[in-house]
Structure 1
Amino acid sequence: MSDSLSLSHRELELVDALRRLGGSARSSELAKMLDVSEETVRRTIKALDKAGAVQRVHGGAFLAGPQSATSFARRISENQKEKARIAARVASYVRDGMALFLDVGSTTAFAAEELRQKSGLIVVTNSIGAAQTLANHNGNRVHFLGGELQSNERGTFGFVAEQQIRRFALDFAILSADAFSAKHGVLYHSAPEAQLAGVVADCAEQVAVAIAHPKFQETAPHRGPAPDRIGLLFTDRAPGRKLAEALAGWGVKTEVAAGSKEND
């Protein structure tokens, strides 16, 4: 990070605001907190990103840090156009007043932004970012799960989170994943994340997974919800033959977001 003496007063204010908001925030939140326009915030973020003090991402910024190369900030900066298209398709399935779950995934973060157009949602989440995005907006009620905070994922996991989610009857659960296997289904690098996803799926009427197409070529060691518990796969490109056949066998409907190569 650049020496703080080289930053302007406004830049230092924004960095301080990010610290007070847990290390990340949307541009609209920062504008409200600093009592300036969103355009001013965007310009300041751009300057701070160039100076190495923050990392600019879709709709906001994260404080730069030693874990930035492997953190949520890095993931949300990848495949942004694809994730935005997926998020728009996800939001089209959500009705005002629904009770839904959002996890800590980067594509889910884009979905949270799209869901700001909805009203009266009951949102249950373990994601700091999703909670910040949807709380106190359009009559939404946000329930943030307790548990152990994992700063690199910017969310909570473990026994407490799992016990709390069991108290909810959800209309819709929107999950991310690290991989989607034709043999095993949804896979995660983190065992606590896989475990929580399985519990969430048991509490939801409908379960969706939202991932960009590169995840079809990835693998991970921990299984998530049983594949036949998933009703929808939102992605930006149709999966290959083997995975498509597996999805059909599990009864998973694939929704390919508009704007992908298949729809151009």
Structure 2
Amino acid sequence: MHDHSASELPSLRRQKILLILERDGKVMASELSQHFAVSEDTIRRDLAELDSAGLVQRVHGGALPRPKDTGKDYFTRLDETDEVKVRLAQLAAQKVEDGQIVLFDSGSTTLQVARALRPDISITAVTAAPMTAIALAAYAGVKVILAGGQLNPKTLSAGGHEALRLIAGIKADLAFTGVCAIHPDVGITSLHFDEVPVKQALLASAARVIAVTTADKLGAVEPFVVAPCERLHTLITERHLASGSVEDYRRLGIEVEQLPD
């Protein structure tokens, strides 16, 4: 019987390297070689793969984190009008019914869902993202509950015990989650370690979970696992995928809706 150690699984080892990089801010090939009990050449190949995927920046003897955004701050990205995200949000917003309690995750796509609701909708909305709360407050028929706590500057969403306690105490009808990445085998994963507990609480508190995502997030993997794909009920995405097939998700029992051409 094989011992599936990190040294035998390059993909797992590379995920762990990303975890260490997130924690320490820098990794050295010599230290990683000792940590994983593999040669420095193997580690250098790992770092080369991660660099080519745009996940790290190689430096002499190791690697540094590589910013994954375009250099624009979060406010700028939120205010940019992405036609595909708007269309996805419009499709998702049709799922909301009067009288429901609806959870809204952080992120620009979920913010677009909040902006795309029917003008006369009457719901109770819960979110830990202040920008989304402000968008929801524009509706006369929407009661907004904002989960508080320390604001994460990377996601502009609150985290910590206060936000978790509030979300865990709600039994919602519906939750809209944005995903950093979703893979049929690995599941839903995030780039940010500290947003995982809030996302998990959100998924656990809703009777129905809808993920709204652009095609580039499908088949992708980030360092921090949030939940298995099966936690989703509905996946709303584009018609044409960059990786894999929607059948990969339908086989898991997920309802998949795609934008019309």
Query: In 2, distance between residues paired with 1:93 and 1:185?
Result: 23
Unaligned runs of 5+ in 1: 1-66
Count the aligned residue pairs: 193
1:194 Cα offset (Å): 2.1
What amino acid is the match of 2:105? D
Superposition pairs of residues 64-213 of structure 1, within 5 angstroms: 69=71, 71-76=73-78, 80-115=82-117, 117-135=119-137, 137-213=139-215
Q: 2:234 aligns with which of 229, 232, 235?
A: 232
Q: Report what 1:35 is aligned to.
A: none
Unaligned runs of 5+ in 2: 1-68
What TM-score comes out, normalization by structure 2 length? 0.68
Counting helix residues as a fraction of each chain, which structure ranks higher?
1
On the 8 A contact 1:99/1:121 being kept in 2, the answer is yes
On the 8 A contact 1:198/1:226 being kept in 2, the answer is no
Query: In 1, distance between residues paired with 2:220 and 2:76?
Result: 17
SS of aligned partner of 1:172: strand
1:77 Cα offset (Å): 5.8
Deviates more, 1:141-150 or 1:211-220: 211-220
What amino acid is the match of 2:137? A
1:136 Cα offset (Å): 5.4
SS of aligned partner of 2:117: helix
1:70 Cα offset (Å): 5.1
Query: In 1, distance between residues paired with 2:200 and 2:120?
Result: 26
Query: In 1, distance between residues paired with 2:180 and 2:80?
Result: 13
Q: Deviation digits for residues 35-91 of structure 1, max 9, x if unmatched?
A: xxxxxxxxxxxxxxxxxxxxxxxxxxxxxxxx9825323543667000000000001
Query: In 2, distance between residues paired with 1:68 and 1:242?
Result: 26
Deviates more, 1:143-152 or 1:75-84: 75-84
What amino acid is the match of 1:131? A
Q: Report what 2:221 is aligned to.
A: 219
Query: In 1, distance between residues paired with 2:108 and 2:175?
Result: 15
Cα distance change, pair 118–210 in 1 and its aligned pair in 2 (3 A): farther
Q: Deviation digits for residues 87-133 of structure 1, max 9, x if unmatched?
A: 00001111122110111111111111012524221000011111001
Query: In 2, distance between residues paired with 1:71 and 1:247?
Result: 32
Query: In 2, distance between residues paired with 1:120 and 1:246?
Result: 35
From the CA coordinates, give the structure whose radius of gyration is larger.
2
What amino acid is the match of 1:134? L
Query: In 2, distance between residues paired with 1:120 and 1:209?
Result: 22
SS of aligned partner of 1:88: helix
Cα distance change, pair 79–253 in 1 and its aligned pair in 2 (3 A): farther
Query: In 1, distance between residues paired with 2:136 and 2:244?
Result: 37
- CA-atom RMSD in angstroms: 2.2
Cα distance change, pair 78–96 in 1 and its aligned pair in 2 (3 A): same
